[in-house]
Each structure stands twice: as C-alpha cells, then as structure tokens.
Amino acid sequence: EAGVTQFPSHSVIEKGQTVTLRCDPISGHDNLYWYRRVMGKEIKFLLHFVKESKQDESGMPNNRFLAERTGGTYSTLKVQPAELEDSGVYFCASSSTTGRDTEAFFGQGTRLTVV
C-alpha cells in the first residue's frame, strides 16, 4: 500500500512567485493534515481536513496560504505570493480516524526555498 506522497520534493522560487504543493494521502484516509517546519524549529500545525472540509485551519499563518482538498482525495497548498519567511519543509500527514491515539502517517515533505 502506498504511503503519503508529496510533490515536489524540493522547490526553489523567487519572492513574489506562486507555488503549489500537493499531497496524496493514504487511500481511504479521511483526515489530512498540513504541517510546516521553518528554519530547523518545531514542526507546526497548519490545518486539518476531514474529507473535503476544513476542520481546523487555526495554524494557517496568513491569507497568502490557501489549502484545498477537492473531492476529499488529494490536497494542495498554494502560497501566493511567496515571501522569504515561507521557506521551510512542508509536511503532509493522513490518518483514518481522529482522536488522541490516532497514528498519523507522514509524507517525506516538500522543501520550499524562497529566494
């Protein structure tokens, strides 16, 4: 069974450009999460989808970030326009259920560099 897949693995863009990150969760997982690790600091929660609905988007830093999950399958995270401080590693995770004991399965991450 395929794990969580993220595309691209690396992206280098100029400040002011747009970048779209994609995440394909494990098939059948209704829950999809985005996280971000900036400058070697802690990994921070961005948002949580249940199927196609945003359950919790409290971690989204500002309105330059837009996440979608059309049809409840894959998800995209668009950054427009990108700023230098957006550089970091963006992780996607999925799980079959929610709750305190639920194991989330993570992708390899997308390393975004804004220059």
We find the least distance from the C-beta atom of residue 30 to other proteins, in angstroms, to be 15
What Rg value do the Cα atoms of the chain yield, rounded? 13
Question: Which range of residues in 15-23, 61-69, 74-82, 100-108 is near other proteins by CB under 8 A?
Answer: 100-108
Question: Which range of residues in 10-18, 60-68, 69-77, 91-99 is near other proteins by CB under 8 A?
Answer: 91-99
Angstrom distances, CA of residue 47 to CA of 13, 24, 32, 54, 67? 23, 15, 8, 7, 8
The two tokens of residue 54 are 């945003």
Q: Which residues bind other proteins (CB under 8 A)?
A: 3-4, 33, 35, 37, 40-45, 48, 56, 91, 93, 98-104, 106-109
